[in-house]
A and B are shown apart, each in its own frame.
Chain A
Amino acid sequence: MIKKCLYVNRRAPYGTSYALEAIDAVLIGAAFDQDISLLFIDDGVFQLKRDQDTTDVEIKNFSPAYRAFDMYDVEKLYVSEEAMAARGLKKRDLVVDVEVLSDSTIRDLMDEHDVIFTF
């Protein structure tokens, strides 16, 4: 049975391993043909910032992975409008095309999924 899975990302990249682990979990879910949506709220919106360059910190830059998601049929990416505004981010600052949702819409989005994984 295909379940509707929502992966909620709420941490900044690199400071902790949550963001990278979420990517791994999403790709595993995709391999099992689950119906996947990704949501970025709180500091999670920083994961999608374009122009990340980790050369000088010697950590792998995993932000290109977000652009590869559509090859795994992971095409539903949502971000919180309020989280973006609080952090001075605009849609054009992001590395992938996303749907910007208000927090009240996000409440419904969470409601309509069968499973929610939060990272």
Chain B
Amino acid sequence: MSILHTVNKSPFEKNNLESCLRYAKAGSAVLLIEDGIYAALTGTTFEAKVMTAMEALDFYCLAPDMKARGFTSTKMIDGIKLVDYAGFVDLTLEYDKVQAWL
């Protein structure tokens, strides 16, 4: 069973992302949405942690939330894939279930 994990809180403020990464199995995916997108940025104190996690997990980031907060793919960690709302829906179908880390 592969899971799509969604994370919607800033990693600097809440531990949702860290909990998610602690329990996510290899082959699962993490989709960063809303304030969760801050985890996708380069040059932050979370960059190394995310890059390590990317060795076992696929990372996606919701483009409209990134754009709303003033960031583009140029400030995003290499290898994280940007998706739009339609892409979000596709991901929910591609994986067996969704776990929302609220």
Contacts and interface: CB of A to CB of B under 8 A. Distances in A.
Interface of A: 11-16, 42-43, 46, 49-57, 59, 61, 63, 86-88, 93
A43 B38 contact: yes
Chain B interface extent, by class: 20 to 34
A43 B10 CA distance: 8
Interface of B: 8-10, 12-13, 34-35, 38, 41-45, 47, 63-65, 67-72, 75, 84
Where chain A touches its partner, the secondary structure class is loop
B63 A56 contact: yes
Contact of A50 (B45, B47, B70): B70
A44 B13 CA distance: 10
Nearest to B43: A88
Contacts of A93: 70
A88 B41 contact: yes
B67 A46 contact: no
Contact of A15 (B9, B41, B43, B72): B9
A12 B34 CA distance: 10
A87 B71 contact: no
